[in-house]
Chains A and B, each alone.
Chain A
Amino acid sequence: MSGFGLRSHLDRLRERGDLVAIDDRVHWDEEAAAIATVAAREGAPALAFEQTPGHVRFVAGAFGGPDQLAAHDREPWDRIGDALTAGEDLATVPPTHEYGDLLELLAGERTEPATAADGEPAATPDPTLDLHTLGLPTLSANTRPIVSLGILAVDLGPEYGTTWVPVRGGVRGSSRLRLVVPRAFRERLAAATEDAGSGGGGVKNGRERGGIDGGPPTDPPAVSLLLGVSAPALVAALQGWIGDRVRTDVPELAAGIAPTATARVDGRLVPRDAEVRIDGTLRMEAPGGREPTVTGSTPDPASTTTTTEERRAAWEAACETATVVLGVDRIATREDPVVAVSPLGAPLSDDTQLVSLVEAARLYRRVNGYWGVSPVRWVRLPPEGGLGMCLVASEILYAGFEWQLANTLFSFSRLFDKVLIVDEGSDPTDLAKALDDMWVKAHPANDWAFSEPHAPSATATRYRRDGETGSRLHIAATWDPRWDEEYIAPRVTFEQSFPENVRESVAERWDEFDLERE
C-alpha cells in the first residue's frame, strides 16, 4: 500500500496551487522559520523550501490554512482535510472540505487493524548522517534545531503494543534529542519498562514486542522518531495523548481515519512512508541528572509568542508534559527527504491548526454524548484565537442550558476560558458572523456571564501563569428560549432578504451585468 504519505499530500497541494516552491537559498538557522511565520500569519499557501543547506528539505504550512476572518478561497481546515484524504482519488475530493464532515470523521475515533505491516520502511539507514547534518530548522538565531511535527513510535509492552506519541524536541549535540512528550505517556512507558524488567515480556494481542533487532524489551526502551509523516498519523497521535483520556492504540486510530501504510522496525510499527526515521533509546533522565525530567502542568512561561528556543507546540497546552532524552543510534531517510515543520508559536501555525481540529472533534463527541441527546451542531477552537477561545453552535434545549453547555466544555478542556455560544443554524465557515453575533446579539450585561473567580487557569492563555485561579467567561449569542417567536429577528442574507423569483432573475442575468472581475 502506498501513496498515503506526506508526499502524496504535497502533490495534491501542488495540484491545487496551494503549495509554493521557495527556490531561493534559505538557511535553516532562523531564516526558514521566519519565512514560515510570515506565511502562516498572512494565510499564504504551503511553502516548500527547495534550497536549504541540510540533508532534508522542509515544507511549512502543510497542515496550515488561512485566517478565517479574511476573505480567502479556502477554509483554514482545507489542507488538513486534503491531508486526511490524501489516499483518495482527487476527483472524488471536493476543493474545499465541510467542517462538519471533518468533525464527524475525527469524532468517530474509528479504528482499523494496523498490525498487518506491509513492506519495508521507505527510509533507509544512512550512517553518514547525524542530527546536525539533517539541517532541521531553528526558530531563532543561535538556538537549537527543532522537531515540531513528528511522532515517537514506542512499544508499550504486550498489553498495549506500539503507540505513536506527539513530540516536540530540540537537538542536543549530534546524537541526542531532548523531547517533550505527554506526561501520561512517560508514566505508561515507565510502567511498561518496569513490567519488562520484572519478566513480563512476551507476546500479547498478537503483537510482538522487543527492542533493537527484535530482541527482548530494552531498558532504556528502543524507539523511533518519525518525521515527514502523514496527517492521519499526526492526528491520531494527538487524539491518543492529548485531552482527558489517553488512548494508546494510535496506529489503529490512524488507520481508522485513512489507510495508513505501516512497517515494522525492531518490532514496533512505524508509518511506512515516513521521510526520516531516527532510531534510538529513550531515557527518562540523562546521566548525572543534567537533563532533569520536568512536567508542564501549568502554562509554560516560555510560551508560544516569545522568542526563546523553547516555544512550545500547541498540543502541550492540552495535556501535562514531561521531558525525555532520545539517544540516537541510527538515522534513516528516504531519498531526497522532505519534512513538515511548524513555526511554533506563530499565529495560524500548523500545530495550532491540527490541535484546533482534534480538540474540537473531541469536545464535539463528548458534549453530544453527555445529555442523552445531541444538541451541538459544531464546536470550533479558531486557530485565530490561539486556542484560548471556543465557539459552539447548539440548540438551546431550555433556559439556562447555555450555562451548562459552556461549563461542560470548560470541564472537558483545559485550553480556554472563553466560550461563545451561537445559534444552531450558525455557519461554521463564517467565523466573522459568529463573532459579529458576540457583539450584537448577546446583551452586554445579561448574556456575558462570568464565573466566580476560583476556576483553574486556562493553559493556552498568557495570563495567570502562576497557578492562580480566576474567572471564566461564556457569552450566549443565542436567542433567548423564553422569547416569543415574533421577537426573533431574521438575518439579512441574500437568501432571506429576497424572494425566490428575484434571486433567480439576478442569478440568470448576473453575467450580463459584468460586475465580476476576471
Chain B
Amino acid sequence: MTIDSLREYLAVLEAHDDLSRIDEAVSWNLEASAITMLANERDARIPLFERTEAARLVGDPYRGSGSRPWNRIALGLDLPRDLSRYEFYEAVIDRLQDPIPPTSVEAADAPVKERTVTGADVDLLRFPWPYIHAGDGGRYSNLHTLVAPDPDSEWVDWSYHRAMVHDGGTASVLLLAGEQTPNLYYYKYERRGEPMPVAIVVGAEPAVEYTSVMWIPTDRSEAEFAGGLKGEPIELVECETNDLRVPANAELVIEGEILPDARRDEGPFGDYFGYMHGPRRSMPVLEVSAITHREDPIIPFCVEGSGVGYAENSTSSMEAGCVGPDATLGLRTAGFDVECCVPWTSTPRTVYVIATDRSEPGYLHELANFIFTTWGMLHVDFFVFVDADVEPTDSRAVVEALALHADPDADFHQFGVETMPKVPLNIYQTPSEKGDIQTGTSKAKTAKTYIDATRSEPAPDRSPELERRARETLRAAGVELDVEDALLGGRPPREEPTGGWRR
C-alpha cells in the first residue's frame, strides 16, 4: 500500500496508536503550538486539532522518536517503522535511485480542487495559520512545499521556505540566497523585473514533503524523485492562475507570484537553532492569486526550536530521515566512499557527522571541500568525520570520538576563516553582521570547520559472538537494548561505489 495523502498518513499513524484527535476547541494563537511542543518534548502521540477555525491543524506530524527519528518518516513511505538506521537509509537510497515520472489528473479528479477561490475572494486569514511562538513576527505556514519554475528551462524546483502571513492576500517568504529557489528569484526573475510564479503546497502527501527538504540536483525532476520515494507516480494537477502543476492530493495550495523588488518584514521567528532569531528583516513578497483546498483541510505545522536537545520535531526528523539518506547518496554518487552521513541528533542542520574510512591523504579535506562548496555551504558549519564502524547517529559514540580522537593540534581544520558564506539565521553574528536588507546571506562571512575524529590506532577488537551472547543474556534478564538495535540492526555489506573518490 502506498500513502497517497496526508490524510492517509495520519490514518496510518492512528492505526499505530500514534495520533490523538483533539476534539476540544484549541486556538491557533499559541495554544496549538504549545500543546505540540509538549508532545514533542514528551515523545507523545501526534496531535490532530479537529476544532480550530475553518481548517484543522496537525502539529509536527513527521516528528520521530528520540532514538529513531526516522520512524514516522518510514511510515509515510510505507516502510516498517522498526527498521534499523542502516535498513532505513539503504531503503530510501534505493528508492531515490529509481525515480518514477508523475502523472497528470484533471481538476475534477484532484482532491485539492474541492474548493477554489480566486481573485478578490482570496483570503489567507480564513485559515488558522498558527502563531507558533510568543515573539514571532506573525503567523506562519512552515511545513509545506514551495513550487517554483526556472524561467529558462522546464525545471521546477520543490523546496521548503517558510511564509509569514501579512494579510488576506500577501505573505513574506524566507528566501535565502544560495539555495536553489532563492537563487532563481534573486538572480533571474528579480534581475529581469519579472514576478516568479509560485505555488505553496500545504499538506502534501509524505513523499512530496520529504522530497522538498532533500537536495535534489538542479535540473532534475523533483516529482520523479518523489515518485521514486513513494513507489508510484505522484499525481499532479494544474494550478488555476499559473502554469505550475502541483500534487493533486494536497490539502491546500496557495497560488501566486513573488514580486520583484518588493519586500515585507519577516520574522523574528523561533528557529531550528532553538533560539528566537532576529532581527525582523525584509523578505520577498508573495501576492496570492488563488487558494484551492480540500473540504475541511488539514494544515500541518512545525514548532521550530523544539527539535533541539532531546526532543524531535518534523524538521529535525526530516533532516535525519530525508536529508541524511539523500546526502549519503549524493556523496557516494560523487565518488566518496562514505558509510553514512547524518545530522547531529540534537542539532538539525548546523553540523553533520560522516562515517567513512580515510582512504588516502587529503581525502577528508576533499570531502569537506566538496560539501562546503555545494549543498552544505550556507547552513552547515561543521562536519565531524568518524570511522566507518562508528554509528554516526549515536551522539554518545560521536562525542567520545570527538573528545578522545580529535587532536586540537592536528584534527580541527577551519576552512577559510571569515571568508565563507552563511545564512543570516544564525545567532552567533550581530544583527549588523547578518544584515537586514540583504538577499539572504549574512553581510559578514564566516568559517567552516571539519573535524577529523577518526582513530589514529586500530579499532578495538570486539568479538561479535561474545557481544551477541552478551546481548542475549541481557535480554533474557529483561534488559531493553533498543538503542543500539535501533541504530544498527543487521548490517550487510554495502556495494562498493565505483569511480574512486575523486569527482
Chain A residues with CB under 8 Å of chain B are: 20-24, 26, 30-31, 34-35, 37-39, 41-45, 47, 67, 69-71, 305-307, 347-348, 382, 384-389, 416-418, 430, 432-433, 435-436, 439-448, 450-451, 453, 460-464, 470-473, 483, 487, 489-492, 494, 497-499, 502-503, 505-506, 509-510, 512-517
Task: State which of A38, A430, A461, A502 has its C-beta within 8 Å of the C-beta of B470.
Answer: A38
**Which residues on the A side are within 8 Å of B134 (C-beta)?**
497-499
> Does B85 touch A at the CB level, under 8 Å?
no
Task: State which of B38, B418, B448, B478 has its C-beta within 8 Å of the C-beta of A506.
Answer: B38
> Does B82 touch A at the CB level, under 8 Å?
no
Task: State which of A38, A450, A460, A513 has its C-beta within 8 Å of the C-beta of B408.
Answer: A450
**Which residues on the B side are within 8 Å of A23 (C-beta)?**
477
Task: State which of A418, A440, A462, A512 has its C-beta within 8 Å of the C-beta of B350.
Answer: A440
6 sample A-B contacts, Cβ–Cβ < 8 Å, listed by A number:
A385-B403, A444-B447, A448-B449, A510-B38, A513-B20, A517-B44
**Which residues on the B side are within 8 Å of A37 (C-beta)?**
470
Q: Mark the stretch among B103-111, B426-434, B492-500 that contacts chain A.
A: B426-434
Q: Are the CB atoms of B404 and A386 closer together than 8 Å?
A: yes
CA–CA, A464 to B406, complex, Å?
Answer: 11
CA–CA, A239 to B47, complex, Å?
Answer: 50
Quick one: CB contact mask for B14-41 with A, threshold 8 Å, 1 for yes? Answer: 0001001010100000110111011101
CA–CA, A435 to B382, complex, Å?
Answer: 13
**Which residues on the A side are within 8 Å of B296 (C-beta)?**
none
Known A386-B400, A445-B418, A513-B22; judge A24-B477 contact (CB<8 A): yes
Identity of the chain B residue whose Cβ is nearest the Cβ of A301 in the assembled complex: B457
Q: Are the CB atoms of A442 and B34 closer together than 8 Å?
A: no
> Does B407 touch A at the CB level, under 8 Å?
yes
> Does B473 touch A at the CB level, under 8 Å?
yes
CA–CA, A492 to B302, complex, Å?
Answer: 13
Q: Are the CB atoms of B414 and A445 closer together than 8 Å?
A: yes
Q: Mark the stretch among B163-171, B187-195, B197-205, B460-468 that contacts chain A.
A: B460-468
Q: How far does the Cβ of B502 sit from chain A's closest Cβ, in whole Å?
A: 27
Q: Are the CB atoms of B381 and A444 closer together than 8 Å?
A: yes
CA–CA, A231 to B483, complex, Å?
Answer: 28
**Which residues on the B side are within 8 Å of A39 (C-beta)?**
474, 479
**Which residues on the B side are within 8 Å of A448 (C-beta)?**
412, 414, 449
**Which residues on the A side are within 8 Å of B351 (C-beta)?**
439
Other A-B contacts than A35-B474, A69-B346, A386-B404, 13 sampled, CB-CB below 8 A, are A20-B479, A34-B466, A69-B395, A71-B67, A430-B310, A433-B309, A439-B350, A439-B381, A462-B457, A470-B408, A490-B276, A492-B270, A499-B134
Q: Are the CB atoms of B276 and A492 closer together than 8 Å?
A: yes
**Which residues on the B side are within 8 Å of A444 (C-beta)?**
381-382, 414, 428, 446-449
Task: State which of B22, B34, B478 has its C-beta within 8 Å of the C-beta of A502.
Answer: B34
Q: How far does the Cβ of B404 sit from chain A's closest Cβ, in whole Å?
A: 5
Q: How far does the Cβ of A501 sit from chain B's closest Cβ, in whole Å?
A: 9
Q: Are the CB atoms of A470 and B276 closer together than 8 Å?
A: no
Q: Are the CB atoms of B470 and A447 closer together than 8 Å?
A: no
Q: Are the CB atoms of B483 and A42 closer together than 8 Å?
A: yes
Task: State which of B30, B41, B399, B478 has its C-beta within 8 Å of the C-beta of A69.
Answer: B399
Q: Are the CB atoms of A494 and B403 closer together than 8 Å?
A: no
Q: What is the number of contacts between chain A and chain B, taking CB atoms within 8 Å?
A: 274
CA–CA, A4 to B47, complex, Å?
Answer: 48
Number of chain B interface residues as a range: 35 or more
Name which of A444, A447, A487, A506 has the most chain B CB atoms within 10 A of its CB.
Answer: A444
Q: Are the CB atoms of A31 and B466 closer together than 8 Å?
A: yes
> Does B152 touch A at the CB level, under 8 Å?
no
**Which residues on the B side are within 8 Å of A69 (C-beta)?**
345-346, 395-396, 399
Identity of the chain B residue whose Cβ is nearest the Cβ of A449 in the assembled complex: B408
Task: State which of B43, B309, B396 has its C-beta within 8 Å of the C-beta of A384.
Answer: B396
**Which residues on the B side are within 8 Å of A348 (C-beta)?**
396
CA–CA, A249 to B428, complex, Å?
Answer: 48
State which residues 299-314 of B face A: CB under 8 Å: 304-306, 308-310
**Which residues on the B side are within 8 Å of A446 (C-beta)?**
428
Q: How far does the Cβ of B405 sit from chain A's closest Cβ, in whole Å?
A: 6
State which residues 127-145 of B face A: CB under 8 Å: 133-135
Q: How far does the Cβ of A330 sit from chain B's closest Cβ, in whole Å?
A: 34
> Does B360 touch A at the CB level, under 8 Å?
no
> Does B440 touch A at the CB level, under 8 Å?
no
Q: Are the CB atoms of B469 and A31 closer together than 8 Å?
A: yes
CA–CA, A451 to B429, complex, Å?
Answer: 23
Q: Are the CB atoms of A385 and B399 closer together than 8 Å?
A: yes
Q: Are the CB atoms of B34 and A470 closer together than 8 Å?
A: no
Known A440-B274, A499-B30; judge A70-B426 contact (CB<8 A): no
**Which residues on the B side are within 8 Å of A38 (C-beta)?**
467, 470-471, 474, 481
Q: Are the CB atoms of A492 and B474 closer together than 8 Å?
A: no
Known A35-B474, A38-B481, A513-B22; judge A433-B308 contact (CB<8 A): yes
> Does B216 touch A at the CB level, under 8 Å?
no
Q: Are the CB atoms of B399 and A435 closer together than 8 Å?
A: yes
Task: State which of B45, B133, B402, B471 has its C-beta within 8 Å of the C-beta of A389.
Answer: B402
Q: How far does the Cβ of A35 sit from chain B's closest Cβ, in whole Å?
A: 4
CA–CA, A37 to B484, complex, Å?
Answer: 13
CA–CA, A325 to B449, complex, Å?
Answer: 49
Q: Are the CB atoms of B37 and A70 closer together than 8 Å?
A: no
Q: Are the CB atoms of B404 and A492 closer together than 8 Å?
A: no
Q: Are the CB atoms of A497 and B37 closer together than 8 Å?
A: yes
CA–CA, A50 to B463, complex, Å?
Answer: 24
> Does B455 touch A at the CB level, under 8 Å?
yes
> Does B347 touch A at the CB level, under 8 Å?
yes
Task: State which of B34, B346, B395 has its C-beta within 8 Å of the C-beta of A498.
Answer: B34
> Does B417 touch A at the CB level, under 8 Å?
yes
**Which residues on the A side are within 8 Å of B345 (C-beta)?**
69, 432
> Does B154 touch A at the CB level, under 8 Å?
no
**Which residues on the B side are within 8 Å of A489 (C-beta)?**
275-278, 427
Known A445-B446, A462-B455, A502-B34; judge A513-B47 contact (CB<8 A): yes
Known A461-B407, A470-B410; judge A436-B309 contact (CB<8 A): yes
Q: How far does the Cβ of A48 sit from chain B's closest Cβ, in whole Å?
A: 9
CA–CA, A388 to B306, complex, Å?
Answer: 29
**Which residues on the A side are within 8 Å of B220 (C-beta)?**
none
User: What are the nearest 6 A-B pairs in CB distance?
Assistant: A492-B305, A385-B403, A470-B409, A445-B447, A388-B403, A473-B408
Q: How far does the Cβ of A79 sit from chain B's closest Cβ, in whole Å?
A: 15
CA–CA, A460 to B404, complex, Å?
Answer: 7
> Does B476 touch A at the CB level, under 8 Å?
yes
Task: State which of B47, B305, B428 has its C-beta within 8 Å of the C-beta of A442.
Answer: B428
**Which residues on the A side are within 8 Å of B135 (C-beta)?**
490, 497
Q: How far does the Cβ of A317 sit from chain B's closest Cβ, in whole Å?
A: 11
Known A69-B399, A388-B403; judge A450-B412 contact (CB<8 A): yes
**Which residues on the B side are within 8 Å of A347 (C-beta)?**
396-397, 400
**Which residues on the B side are within 8 Å of A498 (C-beta)?**
30, 33-34, 37, 133-134
Q: Are the CB atoms of B446 and A506 closer together than 8 Å?
A: no
> Does B88 touch A at the CB level, under 8 Å?
no
Task: State which of B38, B41, B460 has its C-beta within 8 Å of the C-beta of A306.
Answer: B460
CA–CA, A502 to B30, complex, Å?
Answer: 7
Q: Are the CB atoms of A26 and B404 closer together than 8 Å?
A: no
Q: Are the CB atoms of B274 and A433 closer together than 8 Å?
A: yes
**Which residues on the A side are within 8 Å of B20 (C-beta)?**
513-515
Identity of the chain B residue whose Cβ is nearest the Cβ of A389 in the assembled complex: B403
Q: Are the CB atoms of A26 and B473 closer together than 8 Å?
A: yes
Task: State which of B39, B41, B382, B470 has its C-beta within 8 Å of the C-beta of A439.
Answer: B382
Identity of the chain A residue whose Cβ is nearest the Cβ of B465 in the assembled complex: A34
Q: How far does the Cβ of B421 sit from chain A's closest Cβ, in whole Å?
A: 12
**Which residues on the B side are within 8 Å of A447 (C-beta)?**
428
Q: How far does the Cβ of B144 sit from chain A's closest Cβ, in whole Å?
A: 20
> Does B158 touch A at the CB level, under 8 Å?
no
Quick one: CB contact mask for B304-338 with A, threshold 8 Å, 1 for yes? Answer: 11101110000000000000000000000000000
**Which residues on the B side are within 8 Å of A473 (C-beta)?**
408, 412
> Does B503 touch A at the CB level, under 8 Å?
no
CA–CA, A440 to B343, complex, Å?
Answer: 13
CA–CA, A67 to B417, complex, Å?
Answer: 34
